[in-house]
Homo-oligomer: A and B are copies of this chain.
Amino acid sequence: MNVVNNSPRRRELIRVAAQLFVQEGFDRTTVRMLAQEMGIKSGSLFHHFRDKQEILCAVIEEGTHNALSIAHEALAQCDGGAEARLHAMARAHLETLLTDRNAHVVALYEWRRLDEASRDHLGHLRDAYEQLWQEVIGDALEAGLIRGDKFLVSRFVLGALNWTVRWYDPAGAYSPDALASELIGMLGAPAATPA
């Protein structure tokens, strides 16, 4: 009936779906609502996606994929200093949380509605992202920038960052860059570290 293609139309539909999933939640979003927002009829939806589940999976995949590539890019454009790398990661995380906000909110709040196969597939993507964080945090620990257990610190930091979707207003006083600095300032050993 349909294909698992990667057409620009599909991209557009995924964006629309992400917004609706955030507004209403996955379960409350009906295929009819999705279709209406996309400007088609509900039957036509199943030309683009096998079923409703696949839409959810596509939304989350896109968001996580973007987060990963933005993080890699941020690290690549960054000199070797552990503090600079840590800052770049935090800033990249906050920026993708803004630009792909809908997709990330869906990933955070609708993860459990994925079926087992999708959860497994997307889990690997997410693990890759978290491992990147653990490397950067591990380096910061070795450099004496912060203190604690590598895994614990990674989880605390990711928790603090992901929680920002609940309260962060990009029109407010803090830019993603400034917010990243505030977070690292809160964590770090004092600015002047002994030689």
| Interface set of A (CB-CB < 8 Å, partner B) | 25, 27-28, 109, 112-113, 146-149, 152-153, 155-164, 166-167, 174, 179, 182-183, 185-187, 189-190
Taking A25-B113, A160-B160, A190-B190 as contacts, is the C-beta distance between A155 and B183 under 8 angstroms?
Answer: no
Partner of A149, one of B147, B148, B153, B182: B182
Q: Is the CB of A162 within 8 A of B159?
A: yes
Expressed in whole angstroms, the Cα–Cα distance for A158 and B164 within the complex equals: 10
Q: In this complex, which of A25, A109, A156 has the most chain B Cβ atoms within 10 angstroms of its Cβ?
A: A156
Q: In this complex, which of A155, A157, A166, A186 has the most chain B Cβ atoms within 10 angstroms of its Cβ?
A: A186
Q: Is the CB of A185 within 8 A of B148?
A: yes
Q: How many copies does the complex hold?
A: 2
Point out the residues of chain B lying under 8 angstroms from A28, CB to CB.
Answer: 27, 113
Expressed in whole angstroms, the Cα–Cα distance for A167 and B153 within the complex equals: 13
The A interface is mostly helix, strand or loop, or mixed, namely helix
Point out the residues of chain B lying under 8 angstroms from A157, CB to CB.
Answer: 160
Q: Report A95 CB to chain B, min CB distance, Å.
A: 17
Expressed in whole angstroms, the Cα–Cα distance for A160 and B159 within the complex equals: 4
For residue A191, which residue of chain B has the nearest CB? Answer: B147
Q: Is the CB of B148 within 8 A of A156?
A: no
Q: Is the CB of B163 within 8 A of A183?
A: no
Q: Is the CB of B164 within 8 A of A159?
A: yes
Expressed in whole angstroms, the Cα–Cα distance for A153 and B27 within the complex equals: 34
Q: In this complex, which of A161, A163, A166 has the most chain B Cβ atoms within 10 angstroms of its Cβ?
A: A163
Taking A160-B160, A163-B159 as contacts, is the C-beta distance between A152 and B182 under 8 angstroms?
Answer: yes
